Amino acid sequence: MTKGKVFLVGAGPSDAGLLTLKARRLIEAADVILYDSLVGDGVLGLIPPDKRLINVGKRAGHAHMSQEEINRTILEEAQKGIKVVRLKGGDPFMFGRGGEELELLCEHGIPFEIVPGVTSAVAVPAYAGIPVTHRDFCSSVHVITGHLKDDDKPHIDYGSLVKLNGTLVFLMGVGALKSICEGLLLAGMDPEMPAAILEKGTTSEQRRVVSVLKDLPEEAKKQGVRTPAIIIVGKVCGLNDKFHWAEDRPLGGARVIVTRPKELASKLSGRLMEAGAEVLEIPAIQTIAIEDNDRLADALKRLGEYKWIVFTSQAGVDVFFAALKKSRVDIRSLGGLRFAAIGSATEKAIEERGIFVDLVPEKYDGEHLGMALTKLVGQHEKLLIPRARIGSRELTEALDRAFIDYDDIPVYDTLYRNDGVLNLNEILNTKKVDYVAFTSASTVRGFAAAAGDADFSKITAVCIGRQTADAAVQLGMKAVISDEITIESLASKIVELHRRAKAM
């Protein structure tokens, strides 16, 4: 029997930016991924849609699988001779029961690797402005499980912990908060010791309730704190007022859904994350090159007939040059042709092929591209327009009015998608979503197809271009248009909207 291999991978506390490089590489290379409920949505959004997934999630006593079933499933998958990634929130060995999952693998001689993850015991306090150690206050930090035993009490030696005089971090202790605080008080800890409970750390919904030990349970009850959360006790908790930072970022506290195709999402997602947003990449569309495209193949044989090649998207550029290479047409055949691009992103895609663009309209849409071409295209000059099968009519209508000859050739299809691990309908119905970024009307339509019965009136759609905004408004969304038709302007508009919302 061919043996597979298991990778026990820590996904970090939730923020996708805290996922290690090795973890991301293994996620992309895995044959099957077993994930739990503490893996953040941002991390889950990075999983390629073609991966086979098994949800083994457990939280607060509710489980898809028992631990024994999880162990057995990992083994069974590895025995198929495939690459298995067991993706765990936080770090696999920090109360993650990673050791238990390895025992059965060892018994059966299954090879494995451990990929540590950023533990919430350190990351969550850091995002709340609480350093777990500080030379002026303590010299040690101690991480304790607050998980309840069968008698509904955590089995903790409180006396020893109090004597350590260090920072105490309790994981999985929300249900035992009162018992933990009472235990520390009975063991002699100062009732005025600073203490905090930190909810949903490193996400856009993170909250910190900071008090003193004797009052923390009541304060947490007043604030309605729920899992996942960690408890931290120690003088360092008093530093949060000085050191808080996460919510102070321009997009701190904002959750944004990015609907661009995954291969194009990274630039926008990166700008939003740098500004502090929690970003969920949920591609609403996918571009697929048209196979056996006889019309394009014929046009490539007749390049000498054209004076202009007009591109309306990055996808069109990619498909055209891939077809050029596949057809063994030398790029020198493009000599003498002039190039037009609908916007700066498309222009950049062309220039990456070593070709400088002759025309980009002042406003990045089909109508203004067509109008600009009518002023430059000479009599009897013919255009080649390789673009989506369903392209904007505004471009060709402008050309028709000027009696300009062109070949409008479909080179790719735009397909709606709903195949990722993240369930868009569930997210919209159960979680806070502040903004959805749309870069085209097709991404709006794809988003709607995946969203099911979600209430679109609650969605703030931040859009590139009037056509995109019109598509959002037709669905009942509140639409805001970026000042310019660029990714940079789209990101800036989201920052502007969030700044206003925080000021209210």
Q: What SS3 string covers 353-403?
A: CCCCCCECCCCCCHHHHHHHHHHHCCCCCEEEEEEECCCCHHHHHHHHHCC
Q: Render 22-51 in DSSP notation, one character per residue.
A: HHHHHHHH-SEEEE-TTS-HHHHTTS-TTS
Q: b/e string for 120-145 if b means 16 or more Cβ within 10 A?
A: bbbbbbbbbbbbbeeeebbeebbbbe
Mean pLDDT of 346-359: 95
What is the rounded distance in angstroms from the CA atom of residue 435 to the CA atom of residue 478?
10
**H/E run at residue 100:** helix 98-107
Report the chain's C-alpha Rg in angstroms.
Answer: 28
Confidence grade of residue 58 (pLDDT, cut at 50, 70, 90): low
Are 178 and 217 a contacting pair, CB within 8 Å?
A: yes
Angle at CA of residue 424, ends 172 and 497, nearest 5°: 90
* Active-site option among 15, 36, 91, 434: 36
Contact between residue 437 and residue 268 where contact means Cβ atoms under 8 Å apart:
yes
Q: CA–CA separation, 301 vs 357, rounded Å?
A: 22
Measured CA to CA in angstroms, residue 198 lies from 34, 146, 492 at distances of 27, 14, 30
State residue 170's pLDDT score.
96
Q: How many residues does the chain have?
A: 504
Number of alpha carbons in the 13 Å side-chain half-sphere of residue 458: 12
Quick: pLDDT tens for 436-453. Answer: 999 988 899 999 999 989
Q: Tell me: the pLDDT tens digits for 236-282?
A: 999 999 999 999 999 999 999 999 877 777 889 999 999 999 999 99
| Residues 347, 370 contacting (CB under 8 angstroms) | no
| Residue 41 annotated in active site | no
| Equal fold, 255-284+418-503 vs 288-416 | yes
Domain boundaries in the chain?
A: 5-118, 122-246, 255-284+418-503, 288-416
DSSP letter (8 states) at residue 290: P
- Is the pLDDT reported for residue 186 higher than 60? yes
- Contacting residues for 33 by C-beta, under 8 A, at least 6 apart: 27, 47, 51, 52, 53, 54, 85, 86, 87
Residue 64, pLDDT > 80, answer no
Whether 36 is catalytic is yes
∠ Cα 486 252 24 (to 5°) = 75
Task: Catalytic residue, from 5, 22, 58, 478: name it.
Answer: 58
Return d(Cα 261, Cα 122) in angstroms, integer: 34
**Residue 309: per-residue pLDDT:** 98
Under the banding of pLDDT at 50, 70 and 90, the label for residue 345 is: confident
pLDDT tens figures, 123-134 = 999 999 999 999
Structure tokens at 192: 């005025």
DSSP run (H or E) holding 283: none
CATH number of 122-246: 3.30.950.10
Q: Cα(21)–Cα(19) distance, rounded to whole angstroms?
A: 7
Quick one: pLDDT band at residue 60, thresholds 50, 70, 90? very low
Q: Which of 130, 120, 94 is nearest to 230 (CA)?
A: 120
Q: Give the integer Cα–Cα distance in Å for 199 and 124.
A: 9
Residue pair 155/148 in contact by the 8 Å Cβ criterion = no
- Quote the CA–CA distance of 422 and 280 in Å, as a whole number: 9
Nearest to 88 by CA among 47, 116, 69, 66: 116
| Residue 427: band (very low, low, confident or very high) from pLDDT cuts 50, 70, 90 | very high
Apex 351 CA angle, 409 and 284, nearest 5: 55
> For 478, phi and psi rounded to 5 degrees?
-85, 115
Q: What percent of the chain has pLDDT over 90?
A: 81
Question: Contact 322/289 with Cβ under 8 angstroms?
Answer: yes
* Whole-number average pLDDT of the chain: 92
Encode pLDDT of 222-239 as tens digits. 999 999 999 999 999 999
> What is the pTM for the complete model shown?
0.86
CATH topology of domain 288-416: Rossmann fold (3.40.50)
Residues 309 and 321: their CA atoms lie apart, in Å, by 12
Query: How far, rounded to the nearest angstrom, does the alpha carbon of residue 238 sit from its chain's CA centroid?
Result: 32
CA distance 38 to 118: 13
Which has the minimum average pLDDT: 60-64, 249-253, 448-452, 459-463?
60-64
Using alpha carbons only, give the angle 243, 246, 249 rounded to the nearest 5 degrees: 110
Q: What is the pLDDT of residues 110-162, one digit of tens each?
A: 999 999 999 999 999 999 999 999 999 998 999 999 876 555 666 789 999 99
Residue 92 main-chain phi, psi, to 5 deg: -60, -30
Is residue 472 over pLDDT 80?
Answer: yes
- Asked if residue 360 lies in contact with residue 344, where contact means CB atoms within 8 angstroms, the answer is yes
Instruction: Locate 43 and state its tokens.
Output: 């991390």
Mean per-residue pLDDT, 274-291: 93
CATH topology of domain 255-284+418-503: Rossmann fold (3.40.50)
Q: Quick check: 467 and 494 in contact, CB under 8 A?
A: no
Superfamily of domain 5-118: Tetrapyrrole methylase, N-terminal domain (3.40.1010.10)
Task: Select from 278, 280, 276 the least CA-distant residue to 252.
Answer: 276
- Under 8 Å between Cβ of 154 and 173: yes
